[in-house]
Chains A and B, each alone.
Chain A
Amino acid sequence: MARKRPPSRLWSLAGLALLLVLWEAGHRIWGPLVLPGLAETGVTLWRMIAEGMVAPALAQTAGNAGMGWAAGAAAGMIAGTLAGLRPEAQRALQPVAVVLLGIPAIAWVVLALLWFGGRWAVVFTVAVATGPLVFAAAVAGVHSLDGGLIRMAQAFRVPLGARLAHMHLPHMLVHVFPALATTLAMSWKVSVMAELLAGAGGIGDGLATARAHVDTAAMMGWVLVVVAVLVAVDLALLQPLQRRMVHWRDDGRGVGA
């Protein structure tokens, strides 16, 4: 049966164009203080870049988000794998993950500011928001491995290291990758929010300064920077990685049969 052709990319452009039209319409209705126009925002963003405000802030936020995400993802993977393999560990860790998931990120920011302060409050908040989501995906990844494959590896006496590297890990990645991608995007948003409250530099700090100056155009400029980074990471990193990882699948996301 012939596979249905995906819709044209023009539809994506049409959606973006609609968003920009609504933005400009909002600007004309409510004025520049509430919503600056496209041109004003563009000019302000260019000025921020030219004045050297954007690059250091971007680097700091990337560092905070990256460190927190890496720590949270590693902890989630290790704990999730352990919980997936040992029912006792799952019994012990599952309620912890549920409790951590239930605490809003903003509450973590407030607590982390008291406990650590500065950029480490940001890193901690990102890590604690990332860990439980990766944990849940890792548990599902371990549980969903076909028992037939495990028996096959046992029967052929494949060493544990080879089993982990060539059987468990590739299978886990399929389940964990969406969680890693989601939390990577989330880590930027949480990082910006935490920076805004912590005043520890980064894009969030830039947003806080723009808010203090009631500079809505600068605020929109910072928002555009975050969105641009997320889109770039998705297009340049996550989508190619996903295509590379699932090329053996037969659900239309891999190569043709």
Chain B
Amino acid sequence: MTAPLRLEGVEFAHDGKPVLRGLDLSLRAGTITALMGPSGCGKSTLIALAAGLLTPDAGRVARRCARLGIVFQDPALLPWKTALGNVGFALRGLGLGRAERRARARAMLEAVGLDPGDAGKFPRQLSGGMRQRVALARALAVEPDLLLCDEPFAVLDAEPRRALWQLLRQIRERTGLTMLVVTHDRDEATAEADCLAVMDKGRIVPSGQPGAG
């Protein structure tokens, strides 16, 4: 089966300082891959390259997906739009009508656990955890076949984290979604992911299945 995302020999430098040094990574379709590694090892850069937001200095990034969803470390919400408007903004890329955008956005906000009353609130009126849920709803609302998440649940407590992981797994079962999730939590990676990729010094180091090392 064709890998939805494959990085081959990717090199990237920020201001002349090498961040990724010949990185290879391939995601299997329909799997959740947890990406771990020490701070500053280039995980967010890898996500940006995978999303096509950066261009590698060398190597190749091949993305074979119809729709990409992404959750950034910072929720990146438009402060002048409500939670509903923020999710609807991403749906504009799909060319949907206003009514369909709103209906889909409302349903996805509910699915990630936001109260219906919070859909009309501006980001400043939401807690950090609620903002992150809005960002996740935005990514899922486009019905992606590849989802990239950069520490999506870092600000959430254990219980809502578990609930959102369960939601992601349900979506994965239903749609065959492929996910790459950056996390610092080894227990979470072991429990929730199918594969584990560990980064060090700008490369993926051998790790095997979750729990293997």
Known: A151-B48, A152-B72, A257-B125. A159 touches B92 (CB 8 A): yes
The interface residues of chain B lying within 8 Å CB-to-CB of A250 are 124
For A156, the chain B residues whose CB sits under 8 A away are 68, 70, 89-90, 93, 138, 142
Knowing A151-B72, A155-B53 touch, does A162 contact B80 (C-beta < 8 A)?
no
Q: In the complex, A148 Cα to B77 Cα: how many Å? A: 9
The listed residue with most B CB atoms (<10 A of its CB), out of A152, A157, A159, is A152
The answer to the question of A182 belonging to the interface, with a C-beta cut-off of 8 Å to chain B, is: no
Does A167 have its Cβ within 8 Å of any Cβ on chain B?
yes
Tell whether A158 is near chain B: CB-to-CB under 8 Å: yes
For residue A250, give the distance in angstroms from its CB to the closest CB of chain B: 4
The answer to the question of A146 belonging to the interface, with a C-beta cut-off of 8 Å to chain B, is: yes
Note all chain B residues with C-beta closer than 8 A to A158: 89-90, 92-93
Q: Which residues of A contact B90 (CB under 8 A)?
A: 152, 156, 158
A251 to B52, CA, bound (A): 35
- Whether, in the assembled complex, A249 has its beta carbon less than 8 Å from a beta carbon of chain B, the answer is yes
**Cα(A156)–Cα(B72), bound, Å:** 12
Asked if B80 and A248 sit within 8 Å, CB to CB, the answer is yes
Cβ-based interface call for B76 (8 A): yes
Residues of chain B in range 140-186 having any CB-CB distance to chain A below 8 Å: 142
Q: In the docked arrangement, what's the CA distance between A66 and B22, Å? A: 61
Do residues B92 and A154 form an inter-chain contact, with CB atoms below 8 A? no
Knowing A146-B76, A158-B93, A166-B78 are in contact, say whether A151-B53 is a contact too (CB < 8 A).
Answer: yes
Q: Give the number of residues in B that approach A within 8 Å (Cβ atoms).
A: 23
Say yes or no: is A111 at the interface (Cβ < 8 Å to chain B). no
Confirm or deny: B102 has a beta carbon within 8 angstroms of a beta carbon on chain A. no
Q: Which of B48, B53, B79 contacts A249 (CB 8 A)?
A: B79
Measured between C-beta atoms, what is the minimum distance from B18 to chain A in Å?
22
Chain B residues lying within 8 Å of A148, measured Cβ to Cβ, are: 72, 74, 76
A31 within 8 A of B: no
A152 touches B124 (CB 8 A): no
Say yes or no: is A149 at the interface (Cβ < 8 Å to chain B): yes
Interface residue A170 (Cβ < 8 Å from any Cβ of B) = yes
How far is B72's CA from A155's CA once the two chains are assembled, in angstroms? Answer: 10
Task: Check A155 against B89 for contact (C-beta < 8 Å).
Answer: no
Please give, as numbers and ranges, the residues of chain A lying within 8 Å of B80 by CB-CB distance. 170-171, 248
CA gap between A151 and B71 in the complex, in Å: 11
User: How far is it, in angstroms, between the C-alpha of A166 and the C-alpha of B142 when the chains are bound?
Assistant: 18
- Least Cβ–Cβ distance between A245 and chain B, in angstroms: 9
Q: B95-145: which residues lie under 8 A (CB-CB) from chain A?
A: 122-125, 138, 142
Check A166/B89 contact, CB under 8 A, given A152-B76, A156-B142.
Answer: yes
Contact flags (1/0) for A103-142 with B, using CB distance below 8 Å? 0000000000000000000000000000000000000000
Residues of chain A contacted by B68 (CB below 8 angstroms) = 155-157
| Residues in A90-114 with C-beta less than 8 Å from chain B | none
Chain A: minimal CB distance from B165 (Å): 22
List the B side residues contacting A155 at CB < 8 Å.
Answer: 51-53, 68, 70
* Chain B residues with CB under 8 A of A149: 76, 78
Question: B1 to chain A: closest CB distance in Å?
Answer: 25
Chain B CB within 10 Å — which of A151, A156, A157, A250 has the most? A156
Binary contact track A152-184/B, C-beta < 8 Å → 1, others 0: 111111110010001100110000000000000
B201 within 8 A of A: no
Within the assembled complex, what's the spacing in Å between the Cα atoms of A170 and B124?
Answer: 16
Supply 5 further A-B pairs (C-beta < 8 A) apart from A146-B76, A151-B76. A151-B53, A151-B72, A156-B90, A158-B89, A248-B79
A–B Cβ pairs within 8 angstroms, 22 of them = A151-B53, A152-B70, A152-B72, A154-B52, A155-B53, A155-B68, A156-B90, A156-B138, A156-B142, A157-B93, A158-B89, A158-B93, A159-B93, A162-B89, A162-B93, A166-B92, A170-B80, A248-B79, A248-B122, A248-B124, A249-B124, A257-B125
The 7 closest A-B pairs by CB, nearest first: A157-B93, A156-B90, A250-B124, A152-B76, A162-B92, A148-B76, A248-B122
